[in-house]
Amino acid sequence: MPKNIATAAMLFFSLFSVLAANAQRNITTVDKIRYCRTIWPICNDKLQGDYHWWESSGVPDQIQKNTYISRYNEPAASRVEHVVLIASGQRSGDLSWNRLTGQESTRAFRKQEAHRDLRVSEQSLAFRLFRDGVYDTGNTFAALAFDARFNWGFSKNNKNDIVNAYFNWLKSKFRAGNLRSVYLAGHSRGGALVMRLAQKFQQQFPQAVVIVHPFDAVPNKKEGELGAYSSSINNPEAGYPRNTDLFDNKGNWAWKSDMRSFYPDKRNLAVFNMAIGGKIFGLAQEVRAVTHQSASAEITDLGWYAQRWYDMPALGAAPEDAGGHNLIARSGTTVAAALAHVGDRLQVLTNNMAPLASVRVSSTYCTSGSLNCYSAGRVNDTNLDTRVGGPYSWTNSGAVGSSRLSLRWPELINTDYVEVFTSEGYPLQDFRIEYLDGSTWRTAHREIGNTGLHIRAPFANIQTRELRLVDMRGPARQAGYARINEIVVAGDWVTPPNQAPIARCQASPRSGFNPLTTRLSASGSRDRDGSIVSYHWNFGDGSSGSGFSVNHTFYGSLSIDTHYTVRLTVTDNDGATASTTCGVSVSCMSGHDPDGPFIPDECY
């Protein structure tokens, strides 16, 4: 083929591939998870196979028939490292457009309609997560709930069943050991759904980063959903206070919740609650968004939990009493804020090197009782809880100027960014971050006069094996106590340390009559960052062998069955070892005539 034609062909196929990829992201197939195959004389309904979790979780058929979900991006489960779910709010009738899922206004599905291709807006959160490089299509499963069907008025049992259905369905899309992050975003009742899903992911996958973005999430306060209770906060930006007259649904406000209790485990957790507190429908004063109970300022940052109150002008609209509930999910302002937050938290928390370091401190304050017994192990346990007290933080013994905390790694790391989380009511005022450069300590960052709980400390990229915080000073009322709840160090290894190999042992057969010849295999053993160079077998009978697979004859007793524990030890190319065992059992009964029926001897 002539060179110019070959080049043109390559350009054509490259352009075609790009267009095909963009088309896949611009148009998505939306499934109605249960539909009617025929409607006469009655609906002969069918559950689509991928959504069997709704049926096994006990979700009623009628709810299934109104649940619309798109598998927006779906790599093979073995490749998935990140999971995304974006959920629209409660629907009444046709679908309304929003900028989270990117759906356009369109009629509801017909009873016999199982699928529909719908356009996803290029300005939507869903589209931009991939276009802007926050997530990669190659390792991210992304689902869009165009109608999550998680309605305010459903029974508590129905809601629990729906949460379980979504959770189990999403779990089927990845391998547990590969999961690095979960991103959950939702508006209104979709926001309530993703907040509840975040709880479950946190409990079952504490090693994964969980990022959740509620957009004016609406709880059923009567049920205490999302921890909501009968007290409220007026939106400090809107200027329209709550009006309790049920015949005059006024004001921008939200129900209070103790988010600290709603998310008891804050390991690798990042919540960003975007609220406006507008009315949802009619005269229902009970139906409003949810806020953290102390979030009475425009912006709240507890480290693990952030909240921003919006008013109508901030979203590009004229002021309106009780307005903005739908607008908050249609605004480019809130989408941009969500993209910035998820991109930042994903980059920082999934690349946190602090848990891989050993911690040393100058002193630790500890008196009787868990609340007053602090621990250095708290500062790199990935728990971002900023409450005060020993269960959440470390502090020194109280001498001003004597506090020092260091993190040391087994190998050099690259880093240009540290975050420090301190205690509510007792923020760390002053400190200096130093790094070890050869044998010299150098200053990377100095903080003076801090009043916040969540301190961001960027600096020029460094390579080091050790960082330390020195010259720490607490608040004026307790300057001698430097409370640190967590340290996050964003970075990576210069040269990753060797990972130990994984040993697996198989025996075939594992049991039989005396004498028993068994084949032992190291099948399944592997080294994640190199190769296994030796296999050593201890047969448990005083003898040993080597090799990936070996045959060995085991002898038993004439009176009782004999059990052997075989130990396999594998060694990788860097000298690290790992061991495992497998069992072999030899029956005391022996022998048979190969030309006749098997007649075992009796044990005696």
Q: Are residues 379 and 365 in the same domain?
A: yes
- Cα dihedral 555, 558, 562, 566, rounded to 10, equals -10
Element (H, E) at 61: helix 61-64
* Parent domain of 114: 28-349
Q: What is the pLDDT of residue 280?
A: 85
> Residue 5 domain-assigned?
no
CATH number of the domain that residue 321 is part of: 3.40.50
Residues 288, 420: one domain?
Answer: no
Identify the band that residue 246 occupies on the pLDDT scale cut at 50, 70 and 90: low
Range 267-285 average pLDDT = 88
Tokens of 242: 């709550």
Q: Are residues 205 and 290 in the same domain?
A: yes
What does the chain come to in residues?
604
DSSP state of 325: T
Is 275 in the same domain as 420? no
Q: Which residues contact residue 376 at a Cβ distance below 8 angstroms, ignoring those fewer than 6 apart?
A: 359, 360, 361, 364, 394, 405
Each residue's pLDDT tens digit, 297-344: 999 999 999 999 999 999 999 999 999 999 999 999 999 999 999 999
Beta strands per DSSP E along 95-176: 115-119, 140-147
Is 158 part of a structural domain of the chain?
A: yes
Same domain, 471 and 510: no
If asked whether residues 468 and 512 sit together in one domain, one would say no
Give the model's pLDDT for residue 108: 82
How far is residue 554's CA from residue 540's CA, in Å, rounded to a whole number?
10
Residue 237 has pLDDT above 80, yes or no: yes
Asked whether residue 267 falls in the same domain as residue 233, the answer is yes
Residues whose CB is less than 8 angstroms from the CB of residue 194 and which lie 6 or more positions away in sequence, other chains included = 85, 87, 184, 185, 186, 212, 213, 214, 217
Per-residue pLDDT tens over the stretch 37-56? 887 777 878 888 899 999 99
Do 292 and 153 belong to one domain?
yes
Higher pLDDT, 599 or 291: 291
Q: Give residue 219's identity as a one-letter amino acid code.
A: P
Q: What is the number of other CB atoms lying within 10 angstroms of the CB of residue 526? A: 15
Question: Residue 488 is part of a domain; what is its CATH number?
Answer: 2.60.120.260
Tokens of 270: 């990042």
In a domain, 411, yes or no: yes
Coil, strand or helix at 363: coil
Is 3 inside any structural domain?
A: no
Q: Residue 249 pLDDT > 70, yes or no?
A: yes
Specify whether 513 is located in the same domain as 566.
Answer: yes
Residue 583: which CATH number? 2.60.40.10
Residue 471 CA to residue 434 CA, distance in Å, equals 10
Reading the block at residue 219, the tokens are 């709880």
Please tell me the distance from the alpha carbon of residue 219 to that of residue 190, in angstroms, as a whole number: 10
Please say if the pLDDT value at position 231 is more than 50: yes
- Phi and psi, residue 55, nearest 5°: -70, -45
Last residue of a domain, one of 316, 349, 382: 349
Number of domain units in the chain: 3
> Lowest-confidence range among 94-103, 241-250, 358-367, 441-450?
241-250
pLDDT, tens digit, for every residue of 407-451?
Answer: 999 999 999 999 999 999 999 999 999 999 999 999 999 999 999
**Is 222 inside a domain boundary?**
yes
Residue 202 phi, psi (nearest 5): -60, -45
Query: 331, 349, 367 — which closes off a domain?
Result: 349
Are 217 and 240 in a shared domain?
Answer: yes
Residue pLDDT, tens place only, 553-588: 999 887 888 999 999 999 999 899 999 999 999 998
Q: Quickly tell me which residue has 């006469």 as its tokens.
A: 40
Shared-domain flag, residues 131 and 190? yes
The pLDDT value given to residue 283: 54
8 pLDDT tier (thresholds 50, 70, 90): very low
Q: What is the mean pLDDT of the chain?
A: 90
Mean pLDDT of 115-133: 94
Q: Is residue 72 a part of any domain in this protein?
A: yes
pLDDT above 90 as % of the chain: 76
In this structure, are 300 and 403 located in the same domain?
no
In a domain, 383, yes or no: yes
Domain end among 349, 377, 408:
349
Residue 23 lies in a domain: no
Helix (H, G, I), strand (E, B) or coil at 538: strand
Between 384 and 245, where is the model more confident? 384
pLDDT in tens, 163-193: 999 999 999 999 999 999 999 999 999 999 9
